[in-house]
Every structure is written in C-alpha cells, then in structure tokens.
Structure 1
C-alpha cells in the first residue's frame, strides 16, 4: 500500500469535532449520516495527536455505526496515520464485523504501528479471533514478529478462549503449544483452576524444550506447590536448559510468600547438585539452595 500524507485543515477538524460533540450531547446526532462519519474518519489524519485521539474517542462512543467507515479506511486509506487511528478506534468499538479487515491489516499492512494496533483490536474482539490467531501461529509463512503479536493477543484474550486453548495444548505445532501455554498460564494466575494447572504440569514433559521451560516458568510465577515433585523430576532431564528451568522454578517457589517445607526443596536440589556436570546449571542450583536457605533462616526469626 502506498503511504501518502494528506493535509487536514486544523480549523475544519476543530469545527467538525465541536459540531459532532454538541449533537451527541443534545442527542441529535444521526448515526446514519455516512458523509459525516467519513469526514470524521478522514480527520483522524490530523497532524495533532490530541485531535486524533479526540476523534477516535468520539467515533468509539458512536460505536458500531462507525465500523464500516473505519474498516474501509483501515483497508484502503493511503495515509498510515489514518489506518493506525482506525485500527485503534476499532479496538474501542469491539465489533466482530471488523474481524476480516483487522486480520488482513495484521498480516499484510506494511506499517508496523498498524500491524500492532490491528493485533490489539483482534485481542479485544476475544473468542472470534482465536481460531485465526492459532492459524497464524501454526503457519510457517508468518514472521516471528507476527507470531509474537498473535501469542500476545491469545494471552490477552485468556479465559474467554479457554475451550480453544485447552484443546490446542495438544497441537502438533510447537509454536502453537508454546503460545497456548502462555495464555493458559495467564488463566491460572487470574482465576486459578485445577484444569489450567494440570495442563501446565503436564507440559513439563512436553517433547519441545521451549514448552517445558515455559511451563516451569509459569508454575514458578504462580508458586504452585503441587508441581514440586514434577519440577524435581525435571531436574534430572537430559536437557541442561530444562534442568536449569526446573532449578529456577524451585527457587522461586521456595522464596515465595507462602513457601513449602524447605526440606522438600533443599534435599532434591542438593542431590541434583552432586550429580550435575553442566556449569551453568550448577551455578543456578547453588543459587537456589542459597536463596531457599536464606528464606528459611528469615522465617525462623518471624
């Protein structure tokens, strides 16, 4: 898409915004006035950031009647500033009708801000976006940056996408499993439920190292004590990166606000240290032992 900056008359923008706001206030605004809505969208190319924000918020308050005009601008407007503002305004409105245009902008617009804003709007739409985001993650055609935005959107959607996430944790795609796991971790933190934690624990034995490490980190962040035996088992994995992740997770759980009995952690860590040959993992295990002992001594004084 060719990016062209189109000059907007500031005085005209100011007058239009004032008129529309007055009409909204007096409840005389006509949401079927297509010419007026088009002009408002066009004015989001104003050089003044605050004016663009004012138009976006006003269009957002108008809601779904503005969607077709924002979709058209997002898809075809030559000014990237208008496309960016249109995507951000669609985020405010949250109309599922905009999904195809948002997905197209997310995947193909050459402006990075439009790309990110479209991802945010897809996240705001929630469950309807999830199958498309999963397709993006599973496809080898998309860049790591695009997949990163898709994974973020899934995590943002969180529990609203639960039925997809719990199913796709068994996906053949490592990238899908890793992204889904991040979203499940968010669910586990925001509304702790056994099903989410069970999936995180099971992921400690995933065939992919990135998934195992993500699972260990998520369980550590949640300080989920029932996962300790599984993390101890991971301390003896053939991959040193997985062993390191397990040691870090045990350290975090052991220094949390409500730690378990310290012997439950110290004994397996000390045993693992004796058997560990990888220098990086040894340093992490030593640090974990040290930090957990400090926590234990501090608790003894309370």
Structure 2
C-alpha cells in the first residue's frame, strides 16, 4: 500500500526538494527508473496543492515513460485523492501507451471526479486511433450522456491517423456511433483539408437519421466555402424546417459575404421559424 502524501512529504519544501532532485537526475541521465520506491514517491507528490509542482512531475513522468506506467495506473485506479488521480491521468497522456486504454476507459466512465474523467478522456485522445474501438464501445453502450460526451470529445481529437477507422464507424447502424464518427471526421477535414473526409461527410447529408443529417450540415461551416456553399444553399429550400434552420446557421458561421443577399431574401418568407435564424446568421456575417 502506498504511503499517504502527508507521511512521505511532511512539508511543501520537502516535496519541492524531492521534485528538484528528480528533475536534476533526469537532466543528468542518472534517474533510476527501476527504483519503485522513487516512482511511488513521485506519485504521492502529485497530491501537492501547487499546480506548477504537479505539472513538473507530470512532465517528469513523460520523460520516464513506460517504467512509470504501472504506478500511474495503480494511482489512477485506486488512489483515494482525486488530485493524484487527475495528475496520474495527465501523466499517462504524456506517455501515450496503448496498454493503458482499458484503465483510462474505466476512469472516464466510473470515476466520481469530473476532472479525472476529462483527464482520462484527454489521455485517450492522445493515444489516438488505438483507443477508437474502446471509445466507440462507450458510445454504443448504456452510459450517461456526459460520459458519451467525453468519449465523443476524445474521438474528435484522435488525429488524422484515425481517419480510416472513423470512416468505417460512419457506416455503423447505430446513430450514436455515426454521430461520434462524424464529429471526428469533421475535425480532421477542418484541420487537414482532407478531401476524403470532406467527401465522407457530404455522403451523409442524405442520411436516413435526421440527427445525423443535421450534424453533417452543421459541420459544413468548417469546410472551404467552395465545397460548402454548393451544398448549403439548396438546403434552404428543404421541406424539413430543422434542415433549413441548420443550413442558415451554417451559412452564417461560414462567413462568406456573398450569401448575405440570399439570407436577406429568406427574411421575406412567411414560414414560421425561419426569420429568427436568418437574423442570427446575418449578424454573424456582419461581425466578420
């Protein structure tokens, strides 16, 4: 069993001196990564109330790498102090080991501390495509919406190497999985100008599920205007009011002045539920 941090480090100065020693050993290349007592002490020091001290230890664990993983996993899973669990997840995010995925998933879905859950999601995002199957299982499972939201956030930040598994997930028969995959693909398309990802999103503009269609429409605001405008403008005449509303908002976010006359013309429509969305979109355009 680990010592309580108060027993290991009776004063803040003692913790600070310990951290200084760790960093000095790392800089000189003499850190003993086989010293379990030293690594346990580093974990307990993560309880320090000072953010800079914890950050220094997280960075140190990132340099140590694999030898620190078992101690961080143990702390993430069982430590009574949420501050230690939070920092352990952040340290695991620096190391990015796929063999920590199941433990990080466990923390994301079960931990009672919201910061621990978000830190675990951040670590899973950093691991990237290797974490996608486990994250998609969360999306498909019987979990609270906040937990699924964390998983979706992590999926959206899995990086460009996740593009192929995300494209496969976009073909799932489960709406929640398609929505999560859509978010990830949209971010890749936005950040990397990936034509394959853009085409994947365009392909679900006619999805059978309205919610998926609406999210695909919203994501067009993150595309180059030459791609987005030919798809958004025809949607202004769609029979479904929600589709029209979402297209109007996407045009506003896209920020192209050339659509201003088109939006202004929509103000004259008598259809209920249109004018207020057009006004929002126009105000966005005029603020650019």
Q: What's the TM-score once normalised by structure 1's chain length?
A: 0.83
Number of residue equivalences: 281
- Judge which range, 279-288 or 11-20, deviates more: 279-288
Q: Deviations over 1:140-182 (max 9, x none)?
A: x111111111111111113121111111112122221112111
Residue 272 of structure 2 is matched in structure 1 by: 279
Pairwise mapping of residues 159-238 of structure 1 onto structure 2 (< 5 A)?
159-238=160-239
Q: 2:90, 2:119 within 8 Å by CA — same for their partners in 1?
A: yes
Pairwise mapping of residues 1-302 of structure 1 onto structure 2 (< 5 A)?
7=6, 8-9=9-10, 10-139=12-141, 141-253=142-254, 255-256=255-256, 266=262, 270=265, 277-285=270-278
Q: 1:204, 1:234 within 8 Å by CA — same for their partners in 2?
A: no
Cα deviation, residue 219, structure 1: 1.1
Cα deviation, residue 235, structure 1: 2.5
Secondary structure, counterpart of 2:173 in structure 1? coil
Q: Distance in 1 between matches of 2:88 and 2:204?
A: 39
Structure-2 change in CA distance of 1:142 and 1:20 (3 Å): same
Secondary structure, counterpart of 1:280 in structure 2? coil
Cα deviation, residue 46, structure 1: 1.8
Q: CA RMSD in A?
A: 2.7
Q: Distance in 2 between matches of 1:51 and 1:251?
A: 44
Q: Distance in 2 between matches of 1:23 and 1:126?
A: 31
Structure 2: stretches of 5+ with no match in the other structure: none
Q: Deviations over 1:81-139 (max 9, x none)?
A: 11111011111111222212111111111111111110000111111110111111112
Q: Distance in 1 between matches of 2:128 and 2:21?
A: 34
Structure 1 segments (4+ residues) deviating >3 Å: 226-230, 250-253, 282-292
Structure-2 change in CA distance of 1:27 and 1:93 (3 Å): same
Q: Distance in 2 between matches of 1:187 and 1:196?
A: 7
Cα deviation, residue 67, structure 1: 0.8
Q: Distance in 2 between matches of 1:28 and 1:113?
A: 34
Q: Distance in 2 between matches of 1:221 and 1:22?
A: 46
- Judge which range, 228-237 or 170-179, deviates more: 228-237
Q: Distance in 1 between matches of 2:211 and 2:28?
A: 57
The structure whose Rg is larger is 1
Q: 2:5, 2:44 within 8 Å by CA — same for their partners in 1?
A: no
